[in-house]
C-alpha cells in the first residue's frame, strides 16, 4: 500500500501517514527514555515532600528549628495565632493560671463534639426524647459512653469556670486594663450555667422535669414580670402571659418547654457563648496577654492621686 500511494494524487494523505508513523515511533522512544528519567526525578522529589507544591501551598514557611520558624509556626496558623509568638517565661508555670481558662475552652469543644453526635439520635419531642436516650444507652454503639462524656464534661466545665474565675480574682487579673474582659467572663459564667440548666431537661426524665419545674417556678415570682411576683398583678400578669410562660412556651413544663430548651441548648446559647469566647480571647491578647506572673509592686511605689 505504501508504494502505491507514493506517487498518487493523494500525496498529502500519504505524507500524513508517514508523519503519524514517525510520530508514533518518536512517542514510543520518548516513553522509553523520558519516563524513567521523570520517574527518577519524581522519586527524588518525593524523598523531600516539603518541596512539593501541595506542601508549600499549605505550609507557608520552613520548619527547621530556628527562632524565626518557631515564631512563624504559631503566628501563621489560624488556630494557634490566638497565642503570641513569645510569652513571659513564668507565664507557662501551671501554678499561676492553673490552666483553667484553657481547660474550660477545651471542655466546651468536647461538649460541642459529643453534643453534635448526640443530636443525630435525639428528637426533642415528648414521644421520642426519653426513648432516644434509652436507645442511646442500650443500642447505639458507644452511645452510653457518648452520653456519659457529654454529661460529665458539662459538670467539669462548671467546676473549671468557677476555678478560673477564682484564680483570676486571686491574681487581681481583673484590674486595669482587664475590667472589661472580667465582665465578658461573668457573662460566660452565666451562659455556662444556662447551658447546663437547659440541657438538664432534655432526657425528659423525672430528674430533669422536676429540676426545671422547681427552677422555672421561681420565674413566677419575678418582680413586675411574674404573676406571683411583687407588683405582677398590677401589670396584668397571669400564668398565661408572664415570663415563665415565655420561657416554657406554656403554663406547665411540657412539649413546648422541651422544644424551647432544646433550641436554647443546641443553637441559641452555644452561638452567643462562642461569640463571647472569641471576644474574651481577643481581649486577653489586646489587654497585653496574661496578667502575670508580674513583678510585685510595693506600697511605696503607688502614685497616690492628689
Partner 1 sequence: MDWRQLWEIASAPDNVPIVGMIPLLAFYIYLAWKQAKANDELIGELEASPAMAKTHHRKSWPFRPGWSKEVHVWPFLLRIEFLAAMIVTIILMVWSITLSAPLEEPANPNLTMNPAKAPWYFLGLQEMLVYFDPWIAGVVMPTLIIIGLMVIPYIDTNPLGSGYYTWKQRKFAIGTFLFGFIVLWISMIIIGTFIRGPGWQWFWPGQTWDHNRLIYEVNRDLPDLFGIASNWAKAVFGAIVVGGYYLVGGFVAHGLFRRYNPKDYKRMSLLQYSIMMFFLLTMVGLPAKMLLRLAWHIKYVWITPWFNV
- Using CA atoms of 173, 294, 159, 148 in order, give the dihedral in degrees to the nearest 10: 120
85 binds, among partner 1, ligand HEM, none (CB under 5 to 8 A by kind): partner 1
Question: Of 72-80, 110-118, 124-132, 277-285, which segment contacts ligand HEM by CB under 6 A?
Answer: 277-285
Nearest to 211 by CA among 203, 220, 200, 196: 200
DSSP-derived letter for residue 82 is G
Residue 189 as a binder of partner 1 (CB under 8 A): the answer is: yes
290 binds ligand HEM (CB under 6 A): yes
* Euclidean distance between CA atoms 220 and 109, whole angstroms: 35
Candidates 118, 133, 165, 258: give the one binding ligand HEM (CB under 6 A): 165
Q: What is the largest CA-CA distance in the chain?
A: 117
- Annotate 232-266 with b (16+ C-beta within 10 A) or e (fewer): beeeebeeeebbbbebbebeebebebbebbbebbb
User: Judged by CB under 8 A, which of 3, 49, 89, 120 binds partner 1?
Assistant: 89
Cα–Cα distance for residue pair 52/44, rounded to 1 Å: 11
For partner 1, the binding residues in 219-258 under the rule CB under 8 A are: 219-223, 226, 228-231, 252-253
CA distance 258 to 201: 7
8 A C-beta contact, residue 61 and residue 76: yes
Give the nearest distance from C-beta 288 to ligand HEM in angstroms: 8
Window contacting ligand HEM (CB under 6 A); options: 1-9, 99-107, 220-228, 230-238: 99-107
Residue nearest to ligand HEM (CB): 185
Residue 104 is a binding residue for ligand HEM (CB under 6 A): yes
Quick check: 195 binds ligand HEM (CB under 6 A)? no
Q: Is 206 helix (H, G, I), strand (E, B) or coil?
A: helix
By a kind-dependent CB cut-off of 5 to 8 A, residue 305 interacts, out of ligand HEM, partner 1, none, with partner 1
Given 121, 135, 174, 209, the residue binding ligand HEM (CB under 6 A):
174
Amino acid at each position: 500500500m505504501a508504494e502505491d500511494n507514493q506517487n498518487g494524487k493523494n500525496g498529502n494523505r500519504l505524507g500524513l501517514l508517514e508523519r503519524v508513523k514517525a510520530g508514533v515511533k518518536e512517542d514510543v522512544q520518548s516513553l522509553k527514555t523520558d519516563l524513567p528519567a521523570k520517574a527518577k526525578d519524581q522519586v527524588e522529589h518525593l524523598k523531600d515532600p516539603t518541596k512539593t507544591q501541595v506542601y508549600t501551598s499549605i505550609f507557608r514557611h520552613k520548619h527547621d528549628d530556628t527562632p524565626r520558624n518557631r515564631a512563624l509556626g504559631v503566628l501563621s496558623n489560624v488556630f494557634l495565632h490566638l497565642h503570641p509568638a513569645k510569652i513571659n517565661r513564668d507565664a507557662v508555670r501551671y501554678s499561676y493560671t492553673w490552666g483553667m481558662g484553657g481547660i474550660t475552652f477545651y471542655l466546651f469543644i468536647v461538649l460541642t463534639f459529643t453534643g453534635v453526635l448526640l443530636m443525630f439520635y435525639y428528637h426533642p419531642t415528648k414521644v421520642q426524647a426519653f426513648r432516644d436516650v434509652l436507645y442511646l444507652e442500650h443500642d447505639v454503639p458507644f452511645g452510653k459512653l457518648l452520653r456519659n462524656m457529654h454529661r460529665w464534661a458539662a459538670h467539669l466545665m462548671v467546676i473549671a469556670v468557677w476555678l478560673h474565675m477564682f484564680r483570676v480574682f486571686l491574681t487581681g487579673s481583673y484590674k486595669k486594663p482587664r475590667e472589661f474582659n472580667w465582665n465578658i467572663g461573668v457573662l460566660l459564667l452565666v451562659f455556662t450555667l444556662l447551658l447546663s440548666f437547659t440541657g438538664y431537661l432534655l432526657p425528659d426524665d423525672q430528674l430533669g422535669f422536676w429540676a426545671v419545674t422547681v427552677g422555672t417556678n421561681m420565674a413566677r415570682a419575678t418582680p413586675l414580670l411574674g404573676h406571683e411576683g411583687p407588683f405582677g398583678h398590677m401589670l396584668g400578669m397571669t400564668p398565661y402571659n408572664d415570663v415563665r410562660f415565655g420561657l416554657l412556651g406554656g403554663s406547665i413544663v411540657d412539649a413546648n418547654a422541651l422544644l424551647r430548651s432544646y433550641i436554647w441548648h443546641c443553637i441559641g446559647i452555644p452561638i452567643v457563648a462562642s461569640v463571647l469566647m472569641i471576644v474574651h480571647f481577643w481581649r486577653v491578647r489586646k489587654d497585653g496577654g496574661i496578667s502575670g506572673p508580674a513583678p510585685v509592686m510595693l506600697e511605696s511605689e503607688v502614685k497616690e492621686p492628689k
